[in-house]
């Protein structure tokens, strides 16, 4: 890895609250704004980029509007299986996939990074690890999400002999894309990226999306940091976050994101990206109808 001199940087953070269709825009705006400001407060107080992205993402995990933590989408089997990852520009990283019954998967991902020599823990193993680390049982299902799932399943079944409910459900999945994420640079120039999701609604039990796959939904290296949202299967195939980091080697975050989104569009991948390059420039883009995002740079707050 190339070494670079770290000079004092202006603390910067960009957060995203998911790409796709947003029905409750005000709530999304409040959520991403609050997360960006909370993360920026950490940075202004001299905190690390890692602490800032964890604060921002954990805050969004606690807001039921977002599809992550409390408020996560339910699987076809009625389960909540969450994915989360965190990564630093020195390639330190930790992730959990298909984890159930915890409040903040991003905090567990951080523990994977800091307390194990692994990158990714999944399912029951991830849950056992979380309990060993002191994370208490928590039911992330909200009544609203349960009702949504039941309603869709009723709709799908109406008047039909349903043998393969999953095949029918796949037609409905794209309507609720969503993930949250944050990328930050602290005063030392260090960059961190974090992403968290409840996955696609009505996904098959055991499905894992792009979010916890290092290089797909979350990535950071000496070029910058990236958090992705959107259609996980397609994002994984394009290794979109790592590609965006490669693009940032010779371009600003915005130019790199634009290039990655053009590629995604050509390949039929509905998604959104937020990024920060090593000079502290923010980049964001999406090819879905909308993406909720907010950033604070040079002391100014911008909300979608
Ligand atoms: N991008 C989130 C997911 O597909 O799981």
Per-residue pLDDT of the chain (304 residues; tens, 9 = 90+): 555 555 678 999 999 999 987 878 899 999 999 999 999 999 999 999 999 999 999 999 999 999 999 999 999 889 999 999 999 999 999 999 999 999 999 999 999 999 999 999 999 999 999 999 999 999 999 888 888 877 777 776 665 655 555 555 555 555 455 699 999 999 999 999 999 999 988 888 999 999 999 999 999 999 999 999 999 999 999 999 999 999 999 999 999 999 999 999 999 999 999 999 999 999 999 999 999 999 999 989 999 9
Tell me the torsion sign for CA atoms 303, 219, 299, 63: positive
Residue 159 CA to ligand 1 centre (angstroms): 31
pLDDT at residue 253, rounded to an integer: 98
Which atom of ligand 1 is least distant from the CA of 271?
A: 1
Q: Is the CB of 211 under 6 A from ligand 1?
A: yes
Label the pairing between strands 224-230 and 218-221.
antiparallel
Atom 4 in ligand 1: residue holding the nearest Cα: 232
Which atom of ligand 1 is least distant from the CA of 230?
A: 1
pLDDT at residue 161, rounded to an integer: 54
Which residue among the candidates 65, 70, 179, 229 is catalytic per the annotation?
179
Residue 148: which of 74, 68, 60, 69 has the closest Cα? 74
Degrees, nearest 5: CA angle 134-136-141: 145
pLDDT at residue 134, rounded to an integer: 98
Q: Is 229 a catalytic residue?
A: no
To test the ligand 1 pocket, which listed residue (97, 199, 218) has its Cβ within 8 A of the most ligand atoms? 199
Q: Is the CB of 179 under 6 A from ligand 1?
A: yes
Q: Does pTM surpass 0.75?
A: yes
Q: Is the CB of 72 under 6 A from ligand 1?
A: no
Q: Is the CB of 232 under 6 A from ligand 1?
A: yes
Residue labelled with tokens 């996980």: 232
Residue 8 CA to ligand 1 centre (angstroms): 35
pLDDT at residue 143, rounded to an integer: 87
Q: Is the CB of 200 under 6 A from ligand 1?
A: yes
User: What are the structure tokens assigned to 101, written together?
Assistant: 């019954």
Residue 195 CA to ligand 1 centre (angstroms): 10
pLDDT at residue 21, rounded to an integer: 78
Q: Is the CB of 39 under 6 A from ligand 1?
A: no
To test the ligand 1 pocket, which listed residue (232, 241, 273) has its Cβ within 8 A of the most ligand atoms? 232
Query: Residues 180, 110: contact at Cβ < 8 Å?
Result: no
Q: Is the CB of 18 under 6 A from ligand 1?
A: no
Distance CA 14, CA 39 (A): 9
Q: Is the CB of 197 under 6 A from ligand 1?
A: yes
To test the ligand 1 pocket, which listed residue (200, 236, 286) has its Cβ within 8 A of the most ligand atoms? 200
Distance CA 110, CA 94 (A): 6
User: What are the structure tokens assigned to 105, written together?
Assistant: 């998967």
């Amino acid at each position: 890895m190339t070494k670079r001199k770290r000079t004092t940087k202006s603390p910067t953070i960009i957060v995203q609250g998911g790409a796709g269709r947003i029905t409750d825009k005000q709530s999304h705006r409040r959520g991403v704004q609050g997360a960006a400001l909370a993360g920026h407060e950490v940075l202004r107080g001299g905190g690390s980029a890692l602490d800032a992205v964890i604060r921002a993402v954990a805050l969004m995990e606690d807001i039921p509007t977002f599809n992550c933590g409390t408020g996560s989408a339910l699987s076809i089997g009625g389960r909540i299986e969450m994915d989360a990852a965190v990564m630093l520009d020195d390639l330190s990283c930790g992730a959990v996939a298909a984890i159930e019954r915890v409040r903040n998967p991003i905090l567990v991902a951080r523990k994977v990074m800091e307390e194990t020599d692994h990158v990714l823990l999944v399912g029951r193993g991830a849950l056992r690890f979380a309990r060993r680390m002191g994370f208490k049982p928590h039911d992330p299902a909200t009544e609203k999400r349960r009702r949504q799932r039941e309603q869709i399943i009723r709709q799908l079944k109406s008047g039909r002999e349903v043998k393969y409910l999953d095949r029918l459900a796949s037609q409905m999945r794209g309507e609720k894309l969503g993930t949250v994420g944050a990328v930050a640079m602290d005063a030392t120039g260090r960059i961190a990226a974090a992403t968290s999701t409840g996955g696609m609604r009505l996904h098959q039990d055991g499905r894992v999306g792009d979010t916890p796959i290092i290089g797909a939904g979350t990535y950071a290296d000496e070029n910058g940091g990236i958090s992705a949202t959107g259609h996980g299967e397609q994002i994984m195939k394009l290794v979109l976050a790592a590609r965006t980091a490669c693009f940032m080697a010779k371009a600003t975050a915005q130019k790199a994101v634009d290039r990655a989104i053009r590629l995604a569009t050509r390949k039929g991948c509905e998604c959104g990206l937020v990024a920060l390059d090593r000079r502290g420039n923010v980049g964001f883009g999406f090819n879905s109808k909308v993406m909720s995002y907010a950033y604070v740079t040079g002391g100014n707050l911008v909300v979608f």
